[in-house]
Structure formats: C-alpha cells, structure tokens
Amino acid sequence: MRWVVLVSGAVFVFLAAEILLSFLMKRQLQLESRLGELSRDKKETTVLALRGERDKKFLQFIHISKRMKEEVGLSGIKLKPEEFVTLWFLLIFAPPLLLFAFSPDLILCVALFIAGLMVPPIYLKIASSKQRTLFEAQLGDALMVLSNGLRAGFSFEQALENVAEDLSDPIGGELNLIVRELKLGADMEKAFHTVADRMRSDDLRLMTIAVVIQQRVGGNLADVLDTISKTIRDRLAIKRSIKTLTAQGRISGQIIGALPILLLLALSVMNPGYISPLFVSTPGRLMLCLGGVMEVMGFLVINRIVKIKF
C-alpha cells in the first residue's frame, strides 16, 4: 500500500507542476498561439514546440467534449480544458488515497472521493452561469449603443466593432469574436448563432433574426434594435421582481440548510463528549454522510421550487 501511495503522490506532484508551469507560461505564449491559429503555419517557435510536446504526451490523450470546452472557456478559469480535467482527476483520487495511507478510514475516504467528484463541476457550472447572466444583463445596453451607432451613420459592422471595444466582458469579448469572424469572411448569421448557442441567449437569437431579415428585405434596423432592447430590459425587470418575491423562500432554505451545520459546530464547542460519537463511531459517520446528502437534496429541491422559468 505504501508504494501505491508514493506513486500516486509522485504523479500528483508531477501533474500539478505541469499545470502550474502551463499557467505561468500562458501569457508568454498567448501572442504566438494566436498567430499560429490565424496563419495555420506548421513552423512553431521553440517554446511552442516544447509546450506542444508536453501537452501531446501528458494532456492531449484526454478527450474533452465540446460542451466542456465551452464551459471552461466561459467560466473565466485560467486553465485549458485538458488541464481542468486533469486537476479534477487529481482532486478525485489524490486526497482519498493519501488519507487512506495515513488513516485508513473508509467512510472519510468515500466522502473525500464524492467531494472531489462533485465540487469542480458544480463550481464550473456556477461560474459559467454567472457569466451568462451578466451577458443577458449587458445585452440590452449593447443593443441600445448599437442602434445609436447606426443612427450616427456607421455601418452595422462598424457599430458592432465600437460596441465590442467599449463594453466590458463577457459581452465585449463575445462581440469581439463575432467582429473578428466577420472580418475573416464568416457568415454573419452563423457567427451570431454560434455565440447565442454558447451563451444560451434567446434574446441574441432574436436580434440575429432581426438583423438578417433587415439585410435581406431592408428597413430601419435602429428602430428594430431599440424595440428588442426595450423588450430585454422589461424582461430583466420582471426577473428582478420575481427574484424579490421569491427572496423569502430562498433565504428560508439557506437558513434551514445552515442550522444543522451551525448546531453541530456549537455542540462540538460546548459539549465535545456529547457530539464525539458522530465522528469516532461508524454509525455516527454514516449519519453524518446521510445528513450531508439530505442537506444537498433539500437545497436542490428548494432551489427548484423558487426558480421560475418564463
């Protein structure tokens, strides 16, 4: 068992160092990688060649789905999808193996395994959801600025480029991607639908349809964008009202979920002997695990009740 732990620890340290070096060299390689993607030149710099060899040997064998790549890129995590999956793999297996080597407690090892399995994807989903929510909040203002640019005499591409430069991320970065694709000759409808699918934005799809129809049959695009912008702002106002009305249920769920944890901590401080069987006996640990699972299930149920889709 000792040699298994040593090998696991060595692999953990090596892959952690690989990810750390990759993160530290990312800014240095950013310009070279962009030039390599645009020119599709097979001749890479020495640093990129060394980086590519390392990735090919240790990370490129990992199959990453398109959805996972989009989620990692959208979440703002400063890691490649392969690096994120590798780190996720380490969090799943390394802590339980190390704990089992020094303190062979099967229940705690299983708890660490479940935590490592669930925490990274949950964090990834929360981070990407925040970016999508912020994108929806910025879209109404972006359309208003875009319509003002059209009234000022700019073409649609020029107005879109100005909006992409003026607004902050995430909408600034997403619109900048569309501008670059249009400059390279990509189809406008396809470029907008790609971003709309990644951001899961029905409002952006609506704007795309309006722009495509205007370019085919004509019309006042500025007025159409103003109408869509007003619709988006009204929808956001309704969402805020719903969030206010459901605040009591959400806060109640948070308080009810926090009470068992706070009570456990209070009893541990006030009367450790009374609460210690939960940590030292097998039935107590099973009860703790069961309580944790029920806490998560209760949180998910309450969140589903107060989350209204329209």
pLDDT digits (tens, 9 = 90+) for 236-261: 888 888 888 878 877 887 888 788 88
Tell me, what's the pLDDT at 58?
47
pLDDT at position 18 is 55
pLDDT (tens digit per residue) in 54-76: 444 444 545 677 777 788 877 77
171 within a domain of the structure (yes/no): yes
Instruction: Concatenate the DSSP letters of all residues of 19-38 into one string.
Output: HHHHHHTHHHHHHHHHHHHH
Confidence at residue 12, expressed as pLDDT on a 0 to 100 scale: 57
> How many Å apart are CA 292 and CA 286, to the nearest integer?
10
For residues 11-18, give the mean pLDDT.
55
Close Cβ partners of 162 (under 8 Å, ≥ 6 residues apart): 145, 149, 154
Q: Residue 62: its pLDDT value, please? A: 58
In a domain, 29, yes or no: yes
Chosen domain end from 196, 228, 244? 244
Q: What is the CATH number of the domain that holds 177?
A: 1.20.81.30
- 247-266 b/e (C-beta count within 10 Å ≥ 16 → b): eeeeeebeeeeeeeeeeeee
142 and 231 part of one domain: yes
Would you call the peptide bond into 272 cis, given omega within 30 degrees of 0 as the criterion?
no
Q: Stretch 202-218: mean pLDDT, rounded?
A: 85
Structural domain including 271 reads: 246-306
Report how far Cα 14 is from the mean position of its chain's Cα atoms: 26
69 with 142, same domain: the answer is: no
* 143 and 222, same domain (yes or no): yes
165 burial class (0-12, 13-18, 19+ CB within 10 angstroms)?
exposed
The structure tokens listed for 216 are: 């085919």
